[in-house]
Amino acid sequence: MNNKYFFSLRYKITLAFFSIGFIFSAVLGVVAYRSLEDKLFSELRRNVGNITRMGAELVNKDVLGVLIGRQKSVHSPKQIDFVEKSREYRIISDQLNFMRDTDKALIHYVYLVAPTKDPGNAKYLVDADVINLKTTGTADDEISHFNSDLDIKPFPVMQKALQDKINVVEDQYVYDETFKINTVSGYAPVMAKDGKTLLALLGLDMADVEVRAALAEVTHKSIVVASLSLFVALMTAIVMGAWFTRGIVKLDSLVRSFAEKDFAVRSNLKSNDEVGRLGFSFNYMAETIQNHSARLEALVTAYGRFVPHDLLRLLEKESILDVNLGDQIQKEMSVLFSDIRNFTPISEAMSPKDNFNFINSYLSQVGPEIRSHNGIIDKYIGDAVMALFSGCVEDAINAALEMQKKVCEYNSHRPDAGYPAIKIGVAVHTGKVMLGTIGEDQRMDGTVISDTVNLASRLESLTKVYGSNVMISDTVLAKLSDPDKYFIRLVDKARVVGKKEAVTLYEVCDADGAEVIQLKKATLSDYTKAIDRYYARDFAAAETLFKKVLAVHGDDLPAKLFLEKTRNLLANGVPPDWNGISRYDSKG
């Protein structure tokens, strides 16, 4: 077959090798740059945290107390000027400048602020720059004077440090317009001698000058190394392209003759490499096709129409010969989805062969549990399993619990073989599904089409969010003949992507392990009351109850999430359209 757009394989191989080398160099450079940048940023944050923490201990609390005591009576510019010229103010200012003098090139701002009754506002106590700025004649509106207001609503990290009385560092850079640099801010509480009373908050801004200098040097060296690597890759690609294509050009002519149904054509390549072996394989293929083409076509047609026996039973067909494209039936079924959590890092640590061995080993553990509870495995999606249950919903839940138990047994042997333990999430939803065949005349497949399937998949992805081993929907709970047979706890009300209506999520805790089950049962009453108070908009009571739950069971993830949402509503107010429903606008 002639092709006017023919592009030589030799050039393709050359281009491919060069492209791979270029992409590899680029990706490696970006990854290395990002990794170094993250590491340097983490080190910068650590330094900021250490300096603010040590600085908070350094501040003279007695003198600071004197300044705080003057806040209520000092308001006029004259009074403020008097305080800023006082011995106490000078002592604290000198201490702040001592902190900054540890590295003036990096530390730009050091200051102390006092909390107020308004959580969105604070008062400046001492700014390390005030005394120097006053002597240089800087305008007053550019100086953070004693007892002046500071709106901290745009600074949530500062608010958190004041509210929780903890040492906190910003998790991202902030651009400083004055110095044209990026800075990282850190905050540390200055506590009274009793260790409980918050006197003030120490703030410190550190620049990324050294970080940028290090990154610039690494970037320069990386470009040099990458350029050399690309040159070597190009030369190698040219040589390998020419070497690889010698015999392939000859085979190309043979294949084109064979495509024109000249089945008698044969290769005479004698090279003792893969190309020579390809010539031998071509000859063997030609003979096989010539002798068995009719039989192979019949087998391909039969295999292409294969439909699993479980699907035949659900479609109420007696034989595969009775299955036709478009056959379908509507049933109410329970859909189970399971997935290995954090599978990607586990997979990346293994070879392709080990990956397949691991997945098959895992599936051999959980697959029988599905079948033994009257379930049908619809499909494997990598490490994920989708199963259907046409009987009672208890079958699906029991299968999910047994799958978790089987994984626990499976994990007990993995450390002995040097493999990490795994965790899975399982979700069950029930509803109407359309079961049938899709495809075209030469290739069909059995499948399930339904919003029920989509929602079950979304619920499984939420097991990671809430730390639940087995999650079910309110629809499943409503169909249980004896809910008290299981230890079931409400998790949240959520609206997932693609759904207009919210679904109430529950976790079946029976496979959580004896210790966790005991803790959840011990806190169940407070947990349930806390959720009731939350949806009743009594957030103060809800916060108290959630704290009580976490005091007993500190790893209760749903309680943590509810407490965080409760505190956010208490701090920021309740939106007009608030209905207590969590929204998830992405699929995974």
Domain spans of the chain? 59-207, 247-303, 309-512, 513-588
* Residue 317 contacts residue 325 (beta carbons within 8 Å): no
Which H/E stretch holds residue 352?
helix 352-372
**435 has a pLDDT exceeding 60:** yes
Q: Which CATH class is domain 309-512?
A: alpha beta
Q: What is the pLDDT of residue 347?
A: 85
Residue 440: alpha-carbon gap to chain centroid: 38
With a CB cutoff of 8 Å and minimum separation 6, the contacts of 281 are none
**CATH topology agreement for domains 59-207 and 309-512:** no
Confidence of residue 446 (pLDDT cuts 50, 70, 90): low
Q: What is the pLDDT of residue 479?
A: 95
- Winning range, highest mean pLDDT, from 88-92, 312-316, 417-421: 88-92
Taking alpha carbons only, the member of 372, 373, 382 closest to residue 340 is: 382
Q: What is the pLDDT of residue 284?
A: 66
Homologous superfamily of the 59-207 domain (CATH): PAS domain (3.30.450.20)
Q: What is the pLDDT of residue 304?
A: 33
The percent of residues in the chain predicted with pLDDT above 90, rounded, is 34
Nearest-angstrom CA–CA distance, 237 and 23: 14
- Winning range, highest mean pLDDT, from 51-65, 194-208, 504-518: 504-518
Nearest-angstrom CA–CA distance, 565 and 376: 39
With a CB cutoff of 8 Å and minimum separation 6, the contacts of 253 are none
* Residue 378 contacts residue 448 (beta carbons within 8 Å): yes
**549 has a pLDDT exceeding 90:** yes
**444 has a pLDDT exceeding 80:** no
Nearest-angstrom CA–CA distance, 371 and 349: 31
Identity of the amino acid at 148 = S
Nearest-angstrom CA–CA distance, 518 and 524: 10
SS3 letters across 68-124: HHCHHHCCCHHHHHHHHCCHHHHHHHHHHHHHHCCCCCCEEEEEEEEECCCCCEEEE
- Winning range, highest mean pLDDT, from 214-218, 243-247, 394-398: 394-398
**293 has a pLDDT exceeding 60:** no
Nearest-angstrom CA–CA distance, 565 and 177: 34
Q: What Å distances lie between residue 573 and 237, 539, 567, CA to CA?
A: 63, 10, 10
Quote the strand ranges of 450-502, DSSP E.
Answer: 470-473, 488-496
**303 has a pLDDT exceeding 50:** no
Average pLDDT, the chain: 82
Which H/E stretch holds residue 329?
strand 328-340
- How is residue 418 annotated by DSSP? T
DSSP per-residue string spanning 141-200:
GGS--TT-EEE-TT-HHHHHHHHHT--EE-SS-EEETTTTEEEEEEEEEEE-TTSSSEEE
Q: What is the pLDDT of residue 295?
A: 55
What are the helix and strand counts (H, E) for the chain? 18, 16
- How is residue 472 annotated by DSSP? E
Q: What Å distances lie between residue 460 and 39, 211, 352, 503, 587, CA to CA?
A: 34, 41, 26, 13, 10
Cα dihedral value 450, 453, 455, 460, nearest 10 = -170
Query: Higher pLDDT residue, 74 or 7?
Result: 74
Q: What is the pLDDT of residue 493?
A: 95
Query: Higher pLDDT residue, 15 or 167?
Result: 167
Taking alpha carbons only, the member of 484, 455, 482, 485 closest to residue 471 is: 455
